[in-house]
Amino acid sequence: MKPIATITRTKAIMERHNLSFKKSLGQNFLIDVNILENIVSKANVDDKSIVIEIGPGIGALTEQLAKQAQHVYAFEIDGRLIEVLEDTLAPYDNVTVINQDILEVDLEAFIEENVQQGQSVQVVANLPYYITTPILMKLLSSHLPIDSITVMMQKEVAARMSADANTKDYGSLSIAVQYYTTSKVVMNVPKTCFIPQPNVDSAILQLTVRREPYIQVENEDLYFEVVQASFGQRRKTLKNNLKRAFEDKLDTERLGRVFNEANIEPSRRGESLTLEEFAKLADAFDRQLAR
């Protein structure tokens, strides 16, 4: 039988199950087997891997993962697709499909219950564009025992996540991703590889989860609060953005002391600061707020 990720098989599955694409769930199905095989290869999935897949759709990527992995746990929010997946993935006894919104899953408890200690856990997914960032931030900020995350997403979002300081794509999202992982765009995927065809091209981003964050900070929540505030209005200076965000906690004089302590010029913009410089700034904030 042809792989699921072909136009003829995809259309046949859709017709057999009387399915239509749900725009509200960002459903665009991949119809290029080579790309899926590449994703599995780039993710380094092997017969010892426990894979968590998010949004399996009709099972195109799941099928390729199941051929290599020890077990695949696929979380699908769309109840219409559960019966479809039971059909398309029937040949694979190493796949468990779970009808649940990944954002509502207690993944720490799930991994503890289903994965033996020491086993490699990888997340591999073709993420819906509209919810890419919330899903990734949940995975990263939860400090889960995950080795890597290999995901297909909108090309522009992948560029932002892997961007360096002093570039137009660099922002709070870049910093959050790089704080927890090393990130690399491993492949671009043209929009012509999907049905229905999305408006933009995609990219595959590989994130290798750091055992320890890239930098150590006194207060992680405050660190990300400072980062977020620094990009509040990109064209404004650090001083203006942070004054606006923290006006109820620090007056102008104390804010000045924060910049002096961190040895950072208040006239700079957020996009010019490295992760290390943001750490100095956040730690100086933490000390001032404690006084």
* Binding-site residues for S-adenosyl-L-methionine: 28, 30, 55, 76, 101, 126
Do residues 77 and 98 make contact, with C-beta atoms less than 8 angstroms apart? no
Helix crossing, 172-180 with 220-230: angle to 10°? 150
162 phi and psi angles, rounded to 5 deg: -105, 10
Q: Counting beta carbons within 10 angstroms of the beta carbon of residue 252, is it exposed (0 to 12), middle (13 to 18) or buried (19 or more)?
A: exposed
Do residues 138 and 103 make contact, with C-beta atoms less than 8 angstroms apart? yes
State the binding site. 28, 30, 55, 76, 101, 126
250 phi and psi angles, rounded to 5 deg: -135, 135
As a whole number of angstroms, the distance between CA 223 and CA 286 comes to: 9
